[in-house]
């Protein structure tokens, strides 16, 4: 495939006796490269010169510069966006909703027994810390706190770590960004 693309831009011309076959000739409109090819057959060898000539001019430096500078502007614009800082009041209100929902959801399962308060307490503490330190609106809800929930519950030997973390992440995906938009007045009216 690479050879066929290269062949489209190069033409082969033989070198005449008056051309220098060892140099690289360059002009604004074309580029020639001279090569020697050798074919060995037993004790005799055959050498013949070969010139590859570029038939299309290379792009001008100004075209290349404008292409790459416009790409840099797009990249720099995306990296310059700053998410809002966490809102402590929102974090407190959302943590209470999270805790109430998690207790309601996990009490339906028989696997927690007497550990339900401890499981919910650990999940709520991790979620609260995340909302206070990292969550800054839609686009900043991370999976890391939910992984931390499952890991912490497992390390402490509490039952139902994967189920608790799953219930927490499902609730957060459905509610946190929507609640943030309502809290900040950016609600778009979408009730999905």
Residue 68 has pLDDT above 80, yes or no: no
**In angstroms, rounded to a whole number, what is the distance separating the alpha carbons of residues 137 and 178?**
9
**In angstroms, rounded to a whole number, what is the distance separating the alpha carbons of residues 185 and 179?**
10
Average pLDDT, the chain: 76
Q: Which residue has the higher pLDDT, 11 or 114?
A: 114
Residues 6+ apart with CB under 8 A from 58: 31
Burial class (CB in 10 A: 0-12, 13-18, 19+), 160: buried
Query: Can you tell me whether residue 40 is helix, strand or coil?
Result: strand
Across the range 69-93, mean pLDDT stands at: 74
Task: Determine the pLDDT at residue 77.
Answer: 55
Residues 6+ apart with CB under 8 A from 24: 31, 32, 33, 34
Q: pLDDT class for 6, splitting at 50, 70, 90?
A: very low
């Amino acid at each position: 495939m690479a050879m066929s693309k290269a062949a489209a831009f190069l033409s082969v011309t033989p070198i005449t006796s008056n051309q220098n076959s060892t140099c690289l000739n360059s002009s604004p409109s074309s580029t020639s490269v001279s090569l020697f090819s050798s074919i060995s057959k037993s004790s005799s060898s055959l050498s013949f010169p070969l010139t590859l000539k570029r038939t299309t001019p290379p792009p001008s430096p100004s075209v290349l510069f404008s292409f790459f500078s416009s790409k840099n502007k797009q990249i720099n614009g995306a990296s310059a966006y700053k998410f809002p800082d966490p809102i402590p009041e929102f974090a407190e209100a959302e943590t209470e909703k999270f805790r109430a929902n998690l207790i309601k959801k996990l009490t339906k399962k028989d696997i927690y027994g007497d550990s339900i308060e401890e499981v919910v307490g650990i999940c709520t503490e991790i979620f609260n810390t995340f909302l206070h330190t990292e969550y800054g609106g839609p686009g900043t809800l991370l999976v890391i706190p939910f992984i931390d929930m499952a890991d912490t519950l497992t390390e402490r030997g509490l039952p139902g770590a994967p189920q608790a973390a799953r219930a927490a992440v499902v609730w957060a995906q459905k509610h946190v960004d929507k609640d943030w938009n309502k809290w900040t007045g950016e609600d778009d009216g979408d009730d999905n």
